[in-house]
Amino acid sequence: MTAIRTLIVDDEPLARERVRELLEGESDVEIVGEAANGVEALTMILSEAPQLVFLDVQMPELDGFGLLRELGSEGLPVIVFVTAYDEYALQAFDVHAVDYLLKPFDRQRFCRSLARARDLLTGRDRNELDRRLQSLLEDLRPGERHLERILVKAGGKIRLVRVEELDYVEAAGNYLRLYQGRERHLLRETLSNFETRLDPARFVRIHRSIIVNLDRVAELEQALHGDYHVRLHDGRRLTLTRTYREHFQAVLGREL
């Protein structure tokens, strides 16, 4: 039997070590890597194609749920959630028949999860498993509040930035540049995941790499090929591409 390619994802080194130690005696398991956050995990899942992932739910920057949203619903590995989550979330895991390990867990509980993962990998309908995971994501965040504050690191300190004070957000590889007046902040997160946490009535994607705060927009000026120039109140100009024009119009409630 081919070894089960396995990835361990947790922002706590001791938690990763615990899972690794429990897996070391399993001859049919190959640990292909470890990730300390969701962004690292996303890169490793795409490059290493693990079949099984032990996934921490609560992580900074990109949490376990955000990681699943980034991956989409097709071809997900088997997921065993590792969590210290609240009672509501644990009930949701049970309802959707998705396996989880509640920290702290013992060897016996871990072995049951691993055995269940083996069953899923060797016979159960993966489409059904993918459906369960997507339903779980929808259930766990029924009335999710929009992001109000962000913690950003600068000069060895951590600052608290109010989201409503941002002018716009720009993707920069695996990071985001947050523009707040004359200040710029760098945040390690993907634009797609960040967008899902913003108020869609206030923050609108205008370009594949830019989300703008509508409260900062002063005027629009038509450009070439269906694009528009977006001028902010401080004079800075951004581009609304025709790809995102229809959505922009829908948020405004009128055509340009």
Determine contact, residues 217/207, Cβ cutoff 8 Å: no
Quote the strand ranges of the chain, DSSP E.
4-9, 29-35, 52-56, 78-83, 100-102, 149-154, 157-162, 168-172, 175-180, 183-187, 203-207, 210-213, 217-222, 228-232, 237-240
- How would residue 42 be classed by pLDDT, with cut points 50, 70 and 90? confident
Angle subtended at Cα 45 by Cα 39 and Cα 47, rounded to the nearest 5 degrees = 105
User: Burial code of 69-87, b = ≥16 C-beta within 10 A, e = fewer?
Assistant: bbbeeeebbbbbbbbebee
The one-letter amino acid code at 240 reads: L
- Residue 121, beta-bridge partner list: none
The one-letter amino acid code at 133 reads: L
- Residue 170, beta-bridge partner list: 177, 210
Measured between alpha carbons, how far is 94 from 98 in angstroms, rounded to an integer? 6
> In the CATH hierarchy, which fold is given to the domain comprising 149-252?
OB fold (Dihydrolipoamide Acetyltransferase, E2P) (2.40.50)
User: pLDDT tens across 52-62, in order?
Assistant: 999 998 887 67
User: pLDDT tens across 160-209, in order?
Assistant: 788 999 999 999 988 899 999 999 999 888 888 888 889 999 999 999 99
Residue 134: both structure tokens together:
């997507």
Is cis: bond before 200, omega within 30 of 0? no
Determine contact, residues 163/149, Cβ cutoff 8 Å: yes
CATH architecture assignment, domain 4-140: 3-Layer(aba) Sandwich (3.40)
Determine what percent of the chain is predicted with pLDDT higher than 90.
43
Residue 44: both structure tokens together:
């490793």
> Which of 137, 154, 152, 156 lies closest to 189 in space, CA to CA?
152
Measured between alpha carbons, how far is 14 from 107 in angstroms, rounded to an integer? 15
Report the pLDDT value the prediction gives residue 99, as an integer from 0 to 100.
83
> Which of 4, 81, 7 lies closest to 44 in space, CA to CA?
7
User: pLDDT tens across 110-148, in order?
Assistant: 999 999 888 888 765 566 676 777 777 766 654 556 778
**Whole-model pTM?**
0.55
Helix axes 64-71, 126-140, angle to 10 degrees: 130
How many residues make up the chain in this entry? 256
| Residues carrying CATH 2.40.50.1020, the chain | 149-252
- Residue 150, beta-bridge partner list: 161
- Residue reference for tokens 């899923």: 120
| Residues carrying CATH 3.40.50.2300, the chain | 4-140
Report the pLDDT value the prediction gives residue 159, as an integer from 0 to 100.
76
Chain CA centroid to CA 251, Å: 24
pLDDT of residue 24 exceeding 70? yes
DSSP conformation class of 165: G
